[in-house]
Amino acid sequence: MALAAARRLLLHAGSRLGRREAVDGARRFANKRVLVETEGPAGVAVMKLRNPPVNSLSLECLTEFTISLEKLENDKSIRGVILTSECPGIFSAGLDLLEMYGRNPAHYAEYWKNVQELWLRLYTSNMILVSAINGASPAGGCLLALCCDYRVMADNPKYTIGLNESLLGIVAPFWFKDMYVNTIGHREAERALQLGTLFSPAEALKVGVVDEVVPEDQVHSKARSVMTKWLAIPDHSRQLTKNMMRKATADSLIKQREADIQNFTSFISKDSIQKSLHMYLEKLKQKKG
């Protein structure tokens, strides 16, 4: 209920959290955790995640992200979105572990519903989505990138990308897996999912997790030039083709959303899984020294 109210509030431009401004002819609207600017090639918005320190996809961040996408989808002048991050060195650390640890089943269900919602909206978007991956992109971060039509990654060996869930003692759900298989093929996905592989940019390019690796200072210009190329294709034929390629994967979740929420909730509530997450969070803390 509270989230629905927040959603209504945010959808109104000019509300306390969602504001629309005119800056040097470019339009922008900003929530606390997502900034959207329409600059560069006509009809293109740049969406920047800004949920420091690591752009984890908290419930609030997911909600703001979904609402921002919804706004762009409803704006007929927008044909493409470049998805990137404002947090230095991090594209997104993925789902917020603190939303999946030490909470109650109702919270897990609410959280998962919002993860599904964002994924469905991103994956089935009619807009051209290009990700400018300017930092680490594990698990849910990789998921965001995989939803895009084209992925450009910064050539920095410190940045890694992949579905690493198994390293955390958790299991990527079937729709994460399906999208991985669609992108890199069954054999590579099977290996990478079991091992929880986090690929360097060069490895990610080789296996097909990303489409292009460029020097870090060229990620945004490359994403823009890719977008220009995609914008040259008539929208109707590109959209119908995208729908044809992605519909079966999206439908398999749509058909069983409730069951998927139940699965997630009972899985994540298990003592053994909570223990694994606890250990992983401790490891992250210890890493800091």
Ligand X SMILES: CCCCC/C=C/C(=O)SCCNC(=O)CCNC(=O)[C@H](O)C(C)(C)COP(=O)(O)OP(=O)(O)OC[C@H]1O[C@@H](n2cnc3c(N)ncnc32)[C@H](O)[C@@H]1OP(=O)(O)O
User: Any idea which residues carry the catalytic annotation?
Assistant: 95, 140, 164-165
**Number of alpha carbons in the 13 Å side-chain half-sphere of residue 264:** 27
Q: Which two tokens mark 139? A: 């698990």
Among 90, 153, 192, 261, binds ligand X (CB under 6 A): 90
How near is the Cβ of 226 to ligand X at its closest, in Å? 25
Question: At closest approach, how far in Å is the CB of 30 from ligand X?
Answer: 22
The answer for residues whose C-beta is within 8 angstroms of residue 236's C-beta and 6 or more apart is none
Q: Which of 54, 59, 133, 189 binds ligand X (CB under 6 A)?
A: 54
- The minimum distance between CB 170 and ligand X, in angstroms, equals 4
Could you say which residues in the range 216-255 bind ligand X, by CB under 6 A? none
- Does residue 201 interact with ligand X by CB under 6 A? no
Residues 254 and 249: their CA atoms lie apart, in Å, by 9
What is the 3-state secondary structure of 182-221? HHHCHHHHHHHHHHCCCECHHHHHHHCCCCEEECHHHHHH
Q: How far is the CB of 237 from ligand X (least distance, A)?
A: 34
Separation CA 193–CA 199 (nearest Å):
12
Question: Residue 136 is which amino acid?
Answer: A
- On whether the CB atoms of residues 85 and 135 are closer than 8 A, the answer is yes
Q: Please report, as residue ranges, which positions from 119 to 178 form the binding site for ligand X (by CB under 6 A).
A: 136, 138-140, 164-165, 168, 170-173
Q: Match 């060996």 to its residue by tokens.
A: 157
Q: Which stretch binds ligand X (CB under 6 A): 6-14, 65-73, 94-102, 228-236?
A: 94-102
Q: Report in angstroms how near the CB of residue 288 gets to ligand X at its nearest.
A: 5
Per CB under 6 A, does 56 bind ligand X? yes
Question: Of 34, 95, 128, 209, which one interacts with ligand X (CB under 6 A)?
Answer: 95
Distance CA 179, CA 193 (A): 12
Quick check: 285 binds ligand X (CB under 6 A)?
yes
Contact positions toward ligand X, by CB under 6 A?
53-54, 56, 90, 93-98, 136, 138-140, 164-165, 168, 170-173, 264, 267-268, 284-285, 287-288
